[in-house]
Amino acid sequence: MKQSRASSTSAGFGLAAVLALTLAVPATAETSDQDAPLQGEHVEPGTHQDNAPVVEPGDYYTGSFGPETLYYRVARTMEESTLHVGLTTYDQEGQATDDAEIALGTFDGSSCDSDRLGWESGSAGNLLRGAQIRATAPRDPEHHSAVPECGSSQELLLTVETLGDELTGEDFELVIAEEPDPVNGDELRTSFEDDADHWGPDGLTWQELQRDRDADNPIDPGGSLHSAPQVEPGTTYDAALEPGGIHVYRISADWNEQIQAEVFFPEPDSQLSEHLGRWSEAEVSIISPYRGATTPSGNRAPNEQNTSNRVDDTAATTLRAQSYPVTWTGRFAGNQVGGNARHATVAGDYYLVVTMDPAEEGADEEETSFEVPYRLTAGVHPAFDETAPEYSQPAVTPAGSSDADTGDEQSDTVATPDEQTSGISAGQGLAIGLGLLGLLLIAGGGLFLARVMRQQRP
């Protein structure tokens, strides 16, 4: 049966329209995902352990803090592995001073690990907060406090508890990763010594970090952990920080290495000096691949660590931060000696975060529309000479996250650091492929339409 000119024409236009929509949707979704500071599948938590949803290693998940404790079940896919869980949250105002706690434990109530977001005295430190916990086989299974199930149970219970009501309704992101037990794991566990020389206040010293005074090397910082550009040790970069700004960079560290970061604010000119009299607090921090703080706690000499300070309105200001060394046995360090040393537990990409206090509420735009230039220099240097872990299989981490260096090639589902910075992600590849397919099909639809119209021409 012959189609009429009207019906043939309508069919051609309809085909073209459908294909145009097919082309447009993936590009829009991909752009939205790339711009979001928090990423992952949104999963509604359980109200108790029996109705808790399962979250698996190798994925990001999002949720919201609530007035009640949130429950998740974390699946283990490898025997005697270490499960890593990190939580990240952003606060544009930097005012939320309530705490939140994440914890991993067994279903019978035994605790594997817990950590709190914490909060800083200044708003700059509260713009981006994170916490990290792990569940691993105990160093001594016979110790009275040891929980062997933390390293062997197929599922563990993850809880997120808000301590106060200021965080209720705020969004957070979870990253779930799994690290295989090293081939030489028994050797590493028996060699650990929790002593002050290794982890205490006098065990870390600032290494000489030379800023390149002649460098002219501008860099576009990331606004979140997902958009952070890679920086090279020993290179000085130039950027400018605005009130309420969050600047994030990535830097790689291997086993037994330590990270240092220096943020130098040059002497301000007269116009900037006037602004700095109003908004001046800035902070630098170093965050682990799984979102935990890595800088030692307690008071230290300003020339060794000065993570937050008022940016002087007439003189130069220098902020400095150093991480605990990246050692496999660091996961066994107790809080009483090492502070949060347990967070530096994998080799991979760490994050340098530079923040500045938001403007005061009610301040007009003219008073807050300014930028403070700074120079960032980071260093990575050997800190210890401990035995490094050896792996027979890769870690399970989300694509685009910082991967633990297992010494083996990553699986097809895990992005390597080079792929993260210069390659095309799976989502981007899919969007590009669909886009090209859509263009070809639209062109075909146009040719079909033109042919029909010629055939129907009287």
One-character DSSP codes across 375-391: EEEEEEEE---PPPP--
Q: What is the pLDDT of residue 261?
A: 96
Does a structural domain hold residue 106?
yes
Are 385 and 442 members of one domain? Answer: no
Are 46 and 29 members of one domain? Answer: no
With a CB cutoff of 8 Å and minimum separation 6, the contacts of 192 are 139, 329, 332
Range of the domain at 211: 203-390
Are 31 and 48 members of one domain? Answer: no
Which ranges of the chain have pLDDT less than 50? 1-32, 336-339, 404, 406-434, 436-437, 439, 442, 447-449, 452-454, 456-458
Q: Are 390 and 398 in contact (CB under 8 A)?
A: no
Does a structural domain hold residue 376?
yes
Q: Please count the structural domains in the chain.
A: 3
Does a structural domain hold residue 309?
yes
Q: What is the pLDDT of residue 166?
A: 86
Does a structural domain hold residue 382?
yes
CA angle 346, 351, 352 (to 5 degrees): 135
Q: Are 62 and 76 in contact (CB under 8 A)?
A: no
Q: What is the pLDDT of residue 295?
A: 82
Strand order in the sheet with 128-135: 41-42, 59-64, 171-179, 82-90, 128-135
Helical ranges in 316-402 per DSSP H: 335-338, 365-368
419: nearest Cα among 399, 443, 446, 449: 399
Give the domain CATH number at 49: 2.60.120.380
Are 69 and 25 members of one domain? Answer: no
133/121 Cα distance (integer angstroms):
24
Are 176 and 217 members of one domain? Answer: no
> Could you tell me the pTM of the whole model?
0.80
Contacts 24+ apart (CB under 8 A), 360-368: 360/278, 360/279, 363/278, 367/275, 367/278, 368/243, 368/279
Does a structural domain hold residue 403?
no
Are 431 and 299 members of one domain? Answer: no
Are 221 and 176 members of one domain? Answer: no
Question: Could you tell me how far CA 242 lies from the centroid of its own chain?
Answer: 21
Quick one: which H or E segment has residue 355?
Answer: strand 348-356
Are 172 and 235 members of one domain? Answer: no
Task: Classify 239 in phi/psi space as left (phi over 0), alpha (psi -120 to 50) or beta.
Answer: beta
E-only strand ranges, 46-163: 54-55, 59-64, 70-75, 82-90, 99-105, 111-116, 128-135, 155-163
- Residue 338, beta-bridge partner list: none
Are 207 and 353 members of one domain? Answer: yes
Does a structural domain hold residue 130?
yes
- Specify the 3-state DSSP secondary structure of 400: coil
Are 384 and 436 members of one domain? Answer: no
Does a structural domain hold residue 411?
no
Are 16 and 136 members of one domain? Answer: no
78/181 Cα distance (integer angstroms):
8
13 phi and psi, to 5 degrees?
-60, -40
- Residue 118, beta-bridge partner list: none
Q: Are 292 and 343 in contact (CB under 8 A)?
A: yes
Are 215 and 283 members of one domain? Answer: yes
Does a structural domain hold residue 400?
no
